Structure 1
Amino acid sequence: MAALESMPESPPEHEETLHEPKTQGTRPMPDDIRFDAIVNTVALHPKEDILAAGDIDGDIYLYSYSCNEKNRELWSSGHHLKSCRKVAFSCDGQRLFSVSKDKAIHVLDVESGRLLTRVRKAHSAAINTVLLVDENVLATGDDEGTLKVWDLRKGTSFMDVKEHEDYISDIAVDQAKRILLTSSGDGTLGVFNIKRRRFELYSEYQGGDLTSLSIMKQGQKVISGSSQGTVYIFNWNGFGAPSDRFAVQAESVDCMVPITDSLLCTASMDGVIRVINILPNRVMGSIGQHVGEPVEEIACSHDKHFLTSCAHDQLVKFWDISSLQDIQVSDYRRRKKKDSRLKSMNNKAFGAGDDFFSGLLDATDEKAEQMEEESSGDSDSD
């Protein structure tokens, strides 16, 4: 088991960007942030207007973002030797955790950028994802399917299990901090019990990579995206097989972020960021895209006003999602006039002049509509 290393203090570097605020519709928004390399991961501070990003060169950047002032680089860190795969803030926002292709875990001080601790060779393979379970417990997954759970007080792992046959793409935890869920490139959902420190079960194979995870509907549903553009819905305590599924009509569903208990944003290899309603299952529309560039990650701001995204165009973009909180979606089968619904939603939820749903996919089209009707007999309901 690898131990944590205390790191000497180093001064942060400060540099201002030259970006100007922009607007989406009538709401002012922070400007895009351009980087010198492809950004793999982005995370937003849980309490402040601060953004962290990690790139393929292993560098990590911390920015303050603003609607009215220039975005400002607070510091950068080059301690990772290879591509930074994932960054995550602690619950109090005082520490930043990062994992890398170099197999190391780093813990950085958010205020100064100082490297506080390092776990060298934390895994035997490149680490792909990280989840802060609570202030003392960290979970990491690697390219070979190994899951480790760490006690941050001791600096060692108390779970080290290899149950997946391919990379672990995402990790989620229940509200009780007892059950860890993993999505994997082997096409299965994994269930692990932290308290008992053991593997519980797999789901059945889903026919493609499972790429992302979210827990919704007050903890009763687990949503998984896939490389085939299908969203799978599992009942809690029914992980063996999905209770429902639907096609998003996208190349893939690579990452997702819940916005409300029914709505989530997803991003894909086609660069489009979509808004999806869960039960009833419907693609509501797109909020924007990185044109022709795969999106690596999306994140939601602490006030639920903005979504950020990073893609292969070396940009971190901001999107206005403040109006999503007000969307109410009733059962599609009770609706008779599709066109009148879209007009009503555009006018009431977002304002007649708002361009939020440009390129609206309408759930998603007649083909998706037909698929939903065909599956209605054995689908979940609210």
Structure 2
Amino acid sequence: MVKSSESWGARAALMVAHCAGMVDLVALPVWVGVLIAGYGLDPQQAGGLATLFLIGAVSASALVAPRSDRLPARAVAAVSFAIAACAFAAVALVKTFALMALLHLAAGLAAGTALSLTHAAIGCSSNPHRLFAIVGFALGVFAVAFMGAVPNIVAAVGAPALFWTFGGVMACAACAAALGFPTARPRTAAAPAAQRGLPRAVWLVAAGISCMALTQAMMFAFVERIGADRGYGAAAVGGVLIALGFVNLLPAPLAAFLQRRLNPRTVLVCGPVLQAVLALLLTQSEAFPPYATGALFFAAVMIFTHTFAFGLLAALDPSGRAVGATPAMVMIGAAVGPLLGGTLVKLAGYSSLGFAAVAIAACAVVCFLPRRSGDAVLSHS
């Protein structure tokens, strides 16, 4: 029997699937740090491997999203997560950069397929904003557990333990999807709409979210390295990473509480500005308190803003196509982030990341600003 996305069994499956598919949002600092410190890669190479995973996810989402309402969602999601689990487990067994690169790409393709179906199912629920906030809260809980346990496991066992952990997370998601994944069905009869192009407002929101995702990945991939290279100490940096996991528990429930109280357009415009301010705190100060402040709240801004953007996109396109492409719009920015960040660090140091974040934030604000033709749409809640 196909479960509705309104049942708690299906919601639990979607929570696990969201956590697995969005593992990069949680793990990038540890991921890039382990590739540099544990495998001896330079920042550009380490960022490049993470970028390959994200490129795979973007490519899969772009292919799957337009077909999300026609695919057997449960079977495809379960098989895709299983493939991602195998790919990450294989990364733990290899040493050569070329094989690691190929396996990262394969894992991204598989995880992106499953995540696209996950977001399409969420978008077809009765209240996509609220359900996305629920899975966002689950991601925050996952982040606390991940940051509290995985760095210590890696330190004790070795760098491959990170990829065994990734494999285990994907395997859990495969099981959850097989047992409870709902079939993504539109909230309304949207067949005629599927024949039309998406509204211009959708593309503007998607472009702005991609810009924010670019900044998120570019900065967050090097949070751990910035702290380590500036001599703050492993204990202090580790404490910040654990604390930010607890901070990330707050934005999704807060976004759900404020769903009817804040104008989505206002949230979307303010998000990139605050993101840029935190990036400057992270990169331009040599003192620990500004670094810690920037790190603690950096991912929270993206989670809060993205929840409002997801609800808005689901309202603009009830067919689920727009939200099914969420991995593509998020990860097309995030895919470039680690490689761009690694290149900037290699050429001009960590301070260059802050200036790049300001420039990207300006582009995001331009995308989110109201226009006479789309103001009413962008204000929709």
Higher share in helix: 2
Q: TM-score under structure 1 normalisation? A: 0.28
What TM-score results when the alignment is normalised by the length of structure 2?
A: 0.28
| Structure label with greater radius of gyration | 1
Larger RCO: Structure 1 or Structure 2 (Cα < 8 Å, ≥ 6 residues apart)?
2
